[in-house]
Structure 1
Amino acid sequence: MAAISREEVAHLARLSRLAVTEAELDTFAGQLDVILQAVARVGEVTAGDIPPTSHSVPLTNVLRDDVAEPCLPREEVLAGAPDAAEDRFRVPRILDEEA
């Protein structure tokens, strides 16, 4: 006996707002039955001793520790800027006052 009937396929088609012909109902019922049987077989696998995973390969963090290090003095950094004002880089305005 099929796991899904023509009437169920027609009902799903109506819910999905899909127009299907009578011939398609028979075709889809058979195809959906095969899919449901495959899913049922997967559910039969005993995997109680296999821990759940989020990835198929182990992941390791490749980031280094965040260590504070001395940086350049502000005056030296701003000395290389094309334009500086009030201890900041000065750049052209790209937004209007209204934005």
Structure 2
Amino acid sequence: MFLTTGGINRTYAIKGIVNATTKKTLLADEIDKVDQYDDLYEIIKEQLTKKAVALQGDAIIEVRFVPEIVRVAVGPKYMLLHGYGTVINFIRKH
């Protein structure tokens, strides 16, 4: 199983679209960490992979990530990351 942000130059069948969202609460002493998304990317990649395996896919192509900072008037800030992609199966010639 692999993920790629681009397409692939090989014959394949589309199995479906998968998506996942995760968030991290930023406490008062963590406000300066708003650009540290690495852990969230790993979580999203794991979630997308699990969903692709459930669809019996071989890969996920055209993966996109949408990072967002959510501000709440009286509460903490959230780092939100949404990811999605297309699950494919490679066509095997017999």
Please report the TM-score for the alignment, with normalisation by the length of structure 2: 0.27
- What TM-score, normalized by structure 1, do the two folds share? 0.26
Structure with a larger share of its residues in helix: 1
Larger relative contact order (Cα-Cα within 8 Å, sequence gap ≥ 6): 2
